């Protein structure tokens, strides 16, 4: 992070976030540079589609165990496009390695591997992503819209979506109800 960019970190929506697409969300940042940022919301499900149904649509054989895998809402951009955040025990030629422990794969091959039981140990399937243009996320952080914390496997891959936002803020070590909506600058 010496370059000032936040890839591999979690963005936490401030309590006063008014955009309903991001209210009380936690976003894992997969990429962040001078040209923009891309992340996956990690605490919302995608209603109306199961993993088994997704596999059927892609004409991938549905095998036992697939019914327990959830499909998540990754963000409002390209909501029909799938992404799998995963541990780096699975790497495909199309995998983008975010850091030593997390990869991002958007190829159908990872879905086949998951269905076959050969996929990554830890995984998070999402449709859509959150995206920011050049300087946009940096401006939102300066405007006090987001907090950042280091990611950890439990927050990233854990199944308890209802408490991820509060747990992520809890990593900062203070009571979020004391946060001010006003941004301060020294």
**Cβ(65)–Cβ(114) under 8 Å?**
no
**Cβ(140)–Cβ(32) under 8 Å?**
no
pLDDT value for 141: 94
This prediction's pTM:
0.89
Least Cα distance to 154 among 115, 125, 124 occurs for: 124
> Could you report the per-residue pLDDT of 131-161, keeping only the tens digit for each?
999 999 999 999 999 999 999 999 999 989 9
Provide the β-strand partners of residue 40: 28
With a cut of 50, which residues of the chain have pLDDT below it? 1-2, 185-186
Which residue in this structure is represented by tokens 């269905």?
115
The CATH homologous superfamily to which domain 9-178 belongs is VC0467-like (3.40.1740.10)
């Amino acid at each position: 992070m010496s370059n000032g960019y936040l890839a591999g970190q979690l963005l936490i929506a401030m309590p006063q976030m008014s955009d309903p697409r991001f209210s009380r969300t936690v976003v894992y940042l997969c990429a962040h540079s001078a040209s923009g940022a891309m992340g996956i919301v990690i605490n919302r499900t995608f209603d109306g589609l199961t993993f088994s149904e997704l596999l059927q649509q892609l004409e991938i054989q549905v095998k036992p165990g697939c019914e327990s895998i959830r499909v998540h809402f990754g963000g409002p951009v390209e909501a029909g496009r799938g992404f799998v955040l995963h541990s780096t025990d699975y790497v495909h030629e199309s995998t983008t390695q975010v850091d030593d422990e997390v990869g991002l794969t958007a190829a159908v091959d990872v879905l086949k591997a998951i269905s076959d039981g050969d996929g990554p140990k830890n995984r998070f399937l999402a449709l859509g992503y959150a995206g920011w243009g050049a300087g946009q996320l940096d401006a939102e952080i300066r405007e006090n819209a987001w907090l950042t914390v280091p990611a950890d496997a439990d927050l990233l891959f854990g199944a308890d979506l209802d408490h991820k936002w509060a747990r992520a803020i809890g990593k900062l070590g203070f009571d979020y109800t004391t946060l001010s909506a006003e941004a301060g600058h020294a």
